[in-house]
């Protein structure tokens, strides 16, 4: 009797998200594209355990590449050890409307946690728990020396009702490279992806039922050893929270962003760690972002060196489309020279563009002198940022040394950025079958 | 009756540290210099409320300079609002022996916390509580974007039994400059110093009874707003923990340190924030420190630019003593050009040296070419690091592009670094009356 009621409770808890999904579907649809046969829901497997479909193998090839761990990392964690503690009904949060989502303001009901303790032999068993506060010693290294890193990924609800991740192998690879760069333990990417997929599956009703939005996935790795020496941390916590997100720059920002390009501020430099997704690359940018805002500008265009080369824009990679000296249309982005974050969207844009063959594609230096000259000669067509949060973000103007440069990104008839955005979102939202999309069930 | 027993309890709690101090004194003395009249204790004022003695005015002039706060900082906190919740007897920690202290491994019984919430009008009332874990939302900005900064100060138990701080005004000034650099709220330095003095006073028995050690003070300011946008934090926590510390590099490191000088690693760069005490300046150095350790070297000598100029050593400022081209003995350290942390010890060394007039003192560029040449011509006398943790730290060798340069710092008859160390510690431990020492009672 006791056992039966326990089972019943568990069943209710595990399926609670599905009970109201038809209602939610009606309430939330904000995009006509999101309309899809209700049958997609009806056919859903009742078993909530995660299954990764056949697409997995093709997209995740690099997840299967062996990664070399430092000896002191010790034992690895495994998805098969994952434990799940579901939130009680009264702990479940109300889901926000798409319009009020913003970016990273609301969080789902559950989170993933995996501890690493050298004294306990390495990585511990992964656990999914209700979203809860972290409890940490005030001397934890993360609070003092920024021993921390993160990734940004998204889960998309496709037009077929299926939920997809986008190239998670790329995030896992970069996360391990970043971990190594700040003395945090590395891990098997495939195991983390499986855990993340399970987490998303449990909070699946938080994946917005619209193409205007998605579920942002924030894997975070922090050093928690409570000692004040500037050294690697012998304890760490890898956790992941999920946040339903709308447009990164808010609903009214579709008109293209204005940039401050001030050579007195430098984001990254040779010999530094600007090519890794460390928390430490972000704190110093806030002040500069404020300086831009004071001038009424929306984002920072990061310059480097004596010739003021463009490196990144805001927290995105930067792309330019222009007519080159041979009269050809060319897409250019700075090369991965150590100053540039190796963006997943960046890589995807380059791959897609190269596969299309419609314009030249080049990784090369872009200087402000070149931008000015191209604007003057009306050969500059588009500048846009690219990143997971926004896919692509068109640039309308650059404020450079007191001069306002108008960038005609929004005035092109068939802009490259728009073609890229449509293709990327078609892949992400399942309108196009593509090995980059990882369906989770 | 109830009131009386409550008062009694409070009295016992507030004075518990003093009850065992004579015993502790006997157990802990590790330095003959620390021997001092027991009468110093007997005369201690029983009132635990903090009093800052007459020295305060002279040392803390710059604390009284008005600081300009951004409008959104709102109301300031005040020492007069400080509340104190003392640890219960069973919560009190055992104090470590000087030999096992190390750096930042043990913490005292209490901590200071001051919250800042824009939504509540600014800084909240300061509170001293038992040392306890921080409880924080996993989306807090400090975990993702390194919205964090700190200071390093020390409390010294003088030969007269009095406890002193060293130039706290300098730390407050720098902490406010750093806060501004990463969008965290500024505060009135004088009010924080008073709160810190009270905290030290409550945990006064943790200030080691020896000149081999001191009580390290770690004011920390972190952004705790639980949203994922890369932006300034509208909630922050300024907290302070205390740690009894011995020698930073361990008891066996008095022989001078060996350095790795590898130009492929760069700590700070023009247009960055290397001159502010942000957490983000430290995480990227851990990997490089590990690279040094792998070569059997103890610290990193940070170089910058094409001419490989010396900027800092480990987490310290760097100084060199040499015979200049005019045959004069000269002390040189890199200027505050944006790449250098404006160290309190650095400033003190310059001021003391200039006041002595025994050798030339200069802030100027030091390149590796210059170091090599001076070594070759036997004109290089000393290289040493300087910082709060270690005061001065002599350098014995530099591994530069595969070459091992021997630095004869330890072989000088009357080395400058030793003269500086003695004077600084004489001021800190009250052997010399000096306006830099702030006696707290």
A239 and A131 in one domain?
A: yes
A410 and A270 in one domain?
A: yes
State the sign of the Cα–Cα–Cα–Cα dihedral A164, A170, A173, A179: negative
| Residue A3: predicted pLDDT | 40
Helix-helix angle B416-428:B344-356, to 10 degrees: 110
- Of A209, A227, A247, which marks where a domain is finished? A247
CATH number of the domain residue A324 falls in: 3.20.10.10
- Is residue A237 within 8 A of residue A225, CB to CB? The reply is no
Determine the 3-state secondary structure of A106 from DSSP.
coil
- Mean pLDDT confidence for A71-97: 96
- Which of B389, B401, B407 minimizes the C-alpha distance to B319? B407
Q: Which residue of B has its CA nearest to A152?
A: B228
Q: Is A302 on the interface with B (CB under 8 A)?
A: no
State the sign of the Cα–Cα–Cα–Cα dihedral B118, B119, B121, B122: negative
CB atoms within 10 A of CB B338: 14
**Domain assignment present for B60:** no
How far apart, in whole angstroms, are the C-alpha atoms of residue B48 and residue B91? 20
Interface of A with B in 157-216 (CB under 8 A): 180-183, 216
A167 and A208 in one domain?
A: yes
CB-nearest to B271 from A102, A243, A264 is A264
How far apart, in whole angstroms, are the C-alpha atoms of residue A187 and residue A63? 11
A283 and A231 in one domain?
A: no
> For residues B6, B8, B10 and B11, what is the CA-based torsion angle, rounded to 10 degrees?
160
CB atoms within 10 A of CB A324: 14
CB-nearest to B146 from A135, A137, A282 is A282
CB atoms within 10 A of CB A53: 12
Give burial (CB, 10 Å; 0-12/13-18/19+) of A89.
exposed
Q: Is A227 on the interface with B (CB under 8 A)?
A: yes
- Is residue A386 within 8 A of residue A393, CB to CB? The reply is yes
| Residue A8: predicted pLDDT | 46
**Domain assignment present for A273:** yes
Å between A2 CA and nearest CA of chain B: 36
A97 and A201 in one domain?
A: yes
Which residues from A are below 8 Å from B143, CB to CB? Answer: 134, 142, 148, 220, 222, 279
**Domain assignment present for A85:** yes
- Of B247, B281, B302, which marks where a domain is finished? B247
Q: Is A138 on the interface with B (CB under 8 A)?
A: yes
CB-nearest to A241 from B135, B138, B279 is B138
- Are A283 and B146 inside 8 Å of each other by CB? yes
CB-nearest to B145 from A138, A231, A282 is A282
- Which of A333, A296, A332, A311 minimizes the C-alpha distance to A266? A311
Q: Is A335 on the interface with B (CB under 8 A)?
A: no
Q: Is A136 on the interface with B (CB under 8 A)?
A: yes
| Strand segments (E) across A224-314 | 235-245, 257-261, 299-304, 309-313
Which residues from B are below 8 Å from A183, CB to CB? Answer: 286-287, 290
**Domain assignment present for A71:** no
For chain B, how far is it from start to end, CA to CA, in angstroms? 32
pLDDT in tens, chain B (441 residues): 344 444 544 443 444 444 334 333 433 333 333 333 333 333 334 444 455 654 444 445 566 677 889 999 999 999 999 999 999 999 999 999 999 999 999 999 999 999 999 999 999 999 999 999 999 999 999 999 999 999 999 999 999 999 999 999 999 999 999 999 999 999 999 999 999 999 999 999 999 999 899 999 999 999 999 999 999 999 999 999 999 999 665 444 568 999 999 999 999 999 999 999 999 999 999 999 999 999 999 999 999 999 999 999 999 999 999 999 999 999 999 999 999 999 999 999 999 999 999 999 999 999 999 999 999 999 999 999 999 988 999 999 999 999 999 999 999 999 999 999 999 999 999 999 999 999 997
Which residues from A are below 8 Å from B278, CB to CB? Answer: 146, 280, 283-284
CB-nearest to A290 from B139, B183, B273 is B183
> How many domains does chain B divide into?
2
**Domain assignment present for B48:** no
A329 and A421 in one domain?
A: yes
- Of A205, A221, A247, which marks where a domain is finished? A247
A290 and A203 in one domain?
A: no
Q: Is B55 on the interface with A (CB under 8 A)?
A: no
Which residues from A are below 8 Å from B180, CB to CB? Answer: 287
B228 and B283 in one domain?
A: no
For tokens 């101090």, the residue is B21
- Are A143 and B147 inside 8 Å of each other by CB? no
| Strand segments (E) across B68-108 | 83-84
Residue A85 vs residues A113, A131, A284, B100: alpha-carbon distances, Å: 11, 10, 38, 41
Q: Which residue of B has its CA nearest to A272?
A: B266
Q: Is A250 on the interface with B (CB under 8 A)?
A: no
Chain-centroid distance of CA A434 in Å reads 19
Q: Is B269 on the interface with A (CB under 8 A)?
A: yes
A237 and A304 in one domain?
A: no
Q: Is B313 on the interface with A (CB under 8 A)?
A: no
- Which of B14, B43, B38, B42 minimizes the C-alpha distance to B25? B38
B269 and B241 in one domain?
A: no
Query: Is the pLDDT score of A90 beyond 70?
Result: yes
Can you spell out the DSSP letters for A312-379?
EETTEEEEEEEE-TTS-EEEEE---SSSS---HHHHHHHHHHHHH-SSEEEE---BHHHHHHHHHTT-
A174 and A321 in one domain?
A: no
Which residues from A are below 8 Å from B287, CB to CB? Answer: 180-183, 273
Give burial (CB, 10 Å; 0-12/13-18/19+) of B379.
middle
**Domain assignment present for B67:** no
- Are A271 and B264 inside 8 Å of each other by CB? yes
Give burial (CB, 10 Å; 0-12/13-18/19+) of A418.
middle
**Domain assignment present for B49:** no
Å between A106 CA and nearest CA of chain B: 8
Domain enclosing residue A344, as ranges: 257-428
B395 and B268 in one domain?
A: yes
Chain-centroid distance of CA B242 in Å reads 11
How far apart, in whole angstroms, are the C-alpha atoms of residue B70 and residue B65? 16
Interface of B with A in 346-375 (CB under 8 A): none
Cβ-Cβ pairs closer than 8 A, A with B, add up to 201
CATH number of the domain residue B92 falls in: 3.30.470.10
Å between A268 CA and nearest CA of chain B: 8
How far apart, in whole angstroms, are the C-alpha atoms of residue A328 and residue A322? 8
Which residues from B are below 8 Å from A134, CB to CB? Answer: 135-138, 143
**Domain assignment present for A26:** no
What's the pTM?
0.88
- In this predicted model, what pLDDT tens digit does every residue of A213-267 receive, in sequence order? 999 999 999 999 999 999 999 999 999 999 999 966 544 456 899 999 999 999 9
């Amino acid at each position: 009797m006791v056992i039966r009621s326990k089972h019943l409770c568990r069943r209710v808890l595990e399926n609670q998200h599905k009970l109201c999904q038809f209602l939610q579907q009606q309430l939330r649809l904000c995009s006509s594209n999101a309309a899809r046969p209700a049958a997609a829901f009806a056919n859903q497997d009742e078993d909530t355990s995660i299954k990764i479909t056949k697409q997995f193998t093709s997209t995740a090839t690099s997840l299967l590449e062996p990664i070399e761990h430092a000896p002191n990392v010790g034992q690895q964690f495994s998805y098969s050890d994952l434990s799940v503690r579901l939130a009680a009904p009264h702990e479940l949060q109300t889901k926000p409307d798409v319009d009020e989502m913003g970016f990273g303001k609301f969080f789902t009901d559950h989170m993933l946690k995996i501890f690493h303790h050298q004294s306990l032999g390495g990585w511990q068993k992964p656990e999914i728990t209700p979203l809860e506060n972290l409890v940490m010693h005030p001397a934890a290294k993360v609070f003092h020396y920024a021993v921390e890193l993160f990734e940004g990924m998204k889960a998309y609800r496709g037009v077929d009702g299926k939920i997809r991740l986008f190239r998670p192998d790329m995030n896992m690879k970069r996360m391990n490279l970043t971990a190594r760069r700040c003395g945090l333990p590395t891990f098997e990417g495939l195991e983390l992806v499986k855990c993340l997929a399970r987490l998303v599956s449990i909070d699946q009703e938080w994946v917005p039922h619209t193409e205007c939005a998605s579920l942002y996935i924030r894997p975070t790795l922090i050093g928690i050893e409570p000692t004040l020496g500037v050294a690697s941390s012998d304890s760490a916590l890898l956790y992941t929270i999920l946040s339903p997100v709308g447009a990164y720059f808010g609903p009214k920002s579709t008109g293209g962003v204005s940039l401050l390009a001030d050579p007195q501020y430098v984001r990254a430099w040779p010999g530094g760690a600007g090519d890794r997704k460390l928390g430490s690359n972000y704190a110093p940018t806030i002040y500069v972002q404020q300086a831009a805002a004071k001038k009424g500008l929306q984002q920072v265009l990061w310059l480097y060196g004596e010739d003021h080369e463009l490196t990144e824009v805001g927290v995105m990679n930067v792309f330019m489309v222009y007519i080159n000296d041979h009269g050809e249309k060319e897409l250019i982005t700075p090369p991965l020279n150590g100053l540039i974050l190796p963006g997943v969207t960046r890589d995807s844009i380059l791959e897609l563009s190269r596969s299309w063959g419609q314009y030249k594609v080049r990784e090369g230096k872009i200087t402000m002198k070149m931008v000015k000259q191209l604007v003057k000669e009306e050969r500059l067509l588009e500048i846009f940022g690219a990143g997971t949060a926004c896919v692509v973000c068109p640039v309308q103007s650059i404020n450079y040394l007191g001069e306002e440069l108008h960038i005609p990104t929004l005035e092109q008839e068939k802009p490259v950025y728009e073609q890229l955005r449509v293709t990327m979102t078609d892949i992400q939202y399942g309108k196009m079958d593509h090995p980059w999309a990882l369906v989770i069930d």
